[in-house]
Structure 1
Amino acid sequence: MRPPQRHPLYVQMFPDYEPRLTAVLAQLAGYRVAERIDWHARVEAWLSNFEGLRDQRLAMTMIERLRVVSEAEIIKGCRSLLETIQASLPRKARLLHFAHETSGGLLVRLLEKDLRVRSFAVLRQADFTKLGALGKLRDGDAVVVWDRFNGTGRQLAKIVKLYGTAFDGSGRKIGALHFAYIAGHRPKKVLPSGAVLHRWIVDIPVVSPEEKDMCDRYAEAAGATETNRKYETGALLTFADNPPNNAPLVLRAPGSDGWSPLLARKETARP
Structure 2
Amino acid sequence: MKNLLSMESVSNEEIEAILKRAAEFEAGAKSQLERDYLVANLFFEPSTRTKTSFETAERRIGATVIPFEAGFSSTLKGETLYDTVKTLESIGMDAVVIRHKKDAYYEELLEGINVSIINAGDGAGQHPSQSMLDLYTIFKEFGKFEGLNITIAGDVSHSRVAKSNIIALRRLGANVNIVCPTQWQAEFEAHHDWDDLLETSDVIMLLRVQHERDAAFEGYSDESYHTRYGLTKEREKRMKDGAIIMHPAPVNRGVEIDSSLVECERSRIFKQIENGVFVRMAIVENILKGRN
Same-fold call, TM > 0.5?
Answer: no
TM-score, with structure 2 as normaliser: 0.33
Task: Give the structure with higher Rg (CA).
Answer: 1
TM-score, with structure 1 as normaliser: 0.35
